[in-house]
Amino acid sequence: MESYYYAFFIILSIIFIVPNLLKKFNIPAITSIMVAGMIIGPYGLNILQVDETLKVLADFGAIMLMFLAGLEVDNETLKKEFKNSLILSLFSLIIPGIGGYMIGNYLGLGFIGSLLYSVIFASHSVAIVYAILEELKMVKTRLGTIILSATITVDLFTLLLLSVVIKLGAGGGDIGTFLLETFAYIAVLLLVIPSLSKYILKLFRKLHAQRIHYVLFIIFIAIVVGEIIGIHPIVGAFICGVAVSEALTKEEHDELLNKNLNAIGYGFVIPIFFLVLGMETNIGVILNLNNLELFLLTLISAVFLKFISGFIALEILRFDKLKKIMGSLLTVPKISASLVAASIGKELGLIGNEIFVTIVALSVITSTVIPILAKHLFVSKCSKNYNNK
């Protein structure tokens, strides 16, 4: 038991102390926690190991982060900005997706391997983008809503495409049935949960513990059903968040979010998710990367294609120059979908170890450097303008 007390002492010390120490340097909390994880993890100073308990807490942190991302989506604003977010989504999917496929083809990965590279290039990171927007108080601004909804659309599509790639890589399967089941799953959640949530949350209006139990209950029902179909848990968690948000008034939303769920999420399990991501990153593999040409080609092309596609879309939407740069930067980070895609691709023999290491390096660099750049830009140039429409 002492080892658990020691581990949680280290974890809570990092979560509490490190972000507050680095805050004055405009380093986002998620970045500082991830870097701390790299330092204390098995590939750094080896102070802590990632055991099953930490993995479970990290997985729950990812689920809570995605649920809160869905819950925070302002449905009225989302409807209002749907056309604009669709423009950003299409550019962020098509340009990097085609570019990723072409580079995969150039590297000799074959059709399915190149399709996997397309998924990796097109993917966003809802977890990181949402956390940055939340930290900068941008979630409900016009730019924040467009970026978040576009990021969600892109990630949902790339996760769906990844599922298709997995089926193809594993020898095929009934793709049509899988897609029908997925669309039916999302539709049922969006139709059933709002009505059920209105009734349950009204029934337990003054019983906060029961409200939390209900929320966790529907999240895990959605995840279990999704896993039976073969849908990634974060998809179910996010859809649940959107559905519950639809059932709440503004006052109920703020009460449920600020007094209850944020305490569970941002107070504990979400920081653990980012800490474990850092701990599982092998810094030595990244530093000892042999094929520099492969790494630079992948890194530069992935970042450039994402940035330029975002910039063009935001130019069409008539944002000013600083907001175009800020918004384009926020389309670049990759972590969960790209790492999942890389590990599955390696397991199925679609990519070799060098490409796997390259994708890990790409994910780590974009998910640590980009948040720092975005926050510096926001603090130094843009903070006075982001509360505008």
Would you list the DSSP string of 102-168?
Answer: HHHHHTT-HHHHHHHHHHHHH---HHHHHHHHHHTT-TTSHHHHHHHHHHHHHHHHHHHHHHHHHHH
Quick one: how far is CA 48 from the chain centroid?
A: 25
Is the pLDDT score of 165 beyond 90?
no
CA-CA distance, 327 to 373, in Å (whole number)? 12
pLDDT at residue number 28: 73
pLDDT in tens, 79-127: 777 889 999 999 999 999 999 999 999 988 888 889 989 999 998 877 7
CA-CA distance, 21 to 246, in Å (whole number)? 38
Counting Cβ atoms within 10 Å, is residue 90 exposed (0-12), middle (13-18) or buried (19+)?
middle
pLDDT at residue number 290: 63
Domain for residue 55, yes or no?
no
pLDDT: is 64 or 78 the higher one?
Answer: 64
Domain for residue 305, yes or no?
yes
Amino acid at 339: L
Q: State mean pLDDT over 352-373.
A: 82
pLDDT: is 170 or 312 the higher one?
Answer: 312
CB 361 within 8 A of CB 295: yes
Is the pLDDT score of 263 beyond 90?
no
pLDDT: is 190 or 247 the higher one?
Answer: 190
pLDDT at residue number 220: 93
Domain for residue 388, yes or no?
no
Secondary structure element (H or E) that encloses residue 210, with its range: helix 208-229
pLDDT at residue number 26: 67
Domain for residue 54, yes or no?
no
Is the pLDDT score of 1 beyond 70?
no
232, 235, 240, 245 alpha-carbon torsion, rounded to 10°: 160
User: Model pTM?
Assistant: 0.78
CA-CA distance, 39 to 7, in Å (whole number)? 15
pLDDT at residue number 310: 94
CA-CA distance, 25 to 92, in Å (whole number)? 30
Of the candidates 167, 203, 163, the one whose C-alpha atom is nearest the C-alpha of residue 185 is 163
Is the pLDDT score of 173 beyond 70?
no
DSSP at 44: T
Question: What is the number of domains present in the chain?
Answer: 1
Name which of 64-78, 81-95, 281-295, 350-364 the model is least confident about: 281-295
Is the pLDDT score of 48 beyond 50?
yes
CB atoms within 10 A of CB 335: 23
pLDDT at residue number 215: 87
pLDDT at residue number 376: 78
Q: How confident is the model at residue 201 (pLDDT cuts 50, 70, 90)?
A: confident
Owner of token pair 């996010």 = 238
pLDDT: is 172 or 244 the higher one?
Answer: 244
Domain for residue 271, yes or no?
yes
**46 φ/ψ sector (left φ>0, alpha ψ -120 to 50, else beta):** left
Domain for residue 389, yes or no?
no
Long-range contacts formed by 249-256: CB under 8 A, 24+ apart:
252/201, 253/71, 256/71, 256/201, 256/211, 256/215
pLDDT at residue number 315: 94
CA-CA distance, 368 to 31, in Å (whole number)? 5
Residues spanned by the domain of 112: 2-22+29-48+60-382
pLDDT at residue number 73: 67
Is the pLDDT score of 388 beyond 60?
no
Q: State mean pLDDT over 125-149.
A: 82
Q: How confident is the model at residue 312 (pLDDT cuts 50, 70, 90)?
A: very high
Amino acid at 192: V
Where residue 320 sits, what CATH number does that domain have? 1.20.1530.20
Amino acid at 128: I
Owner of token pair 């993917």 = 123
pLDDT: is 195 or 206 the higher one?
Answer: 195
30, 36, 39, 40 alpha-carbon torsion, rounded to 10°: -120
CA-CA distance, 226 to 233, in Å (whole number)? 7
**What crossing angle do the helices spanning 82-106 and 142-169 adopt, rounded to 10°?**
40
pLDDT at residue number 227: 86
Domain for residue 387, yes or no?
no
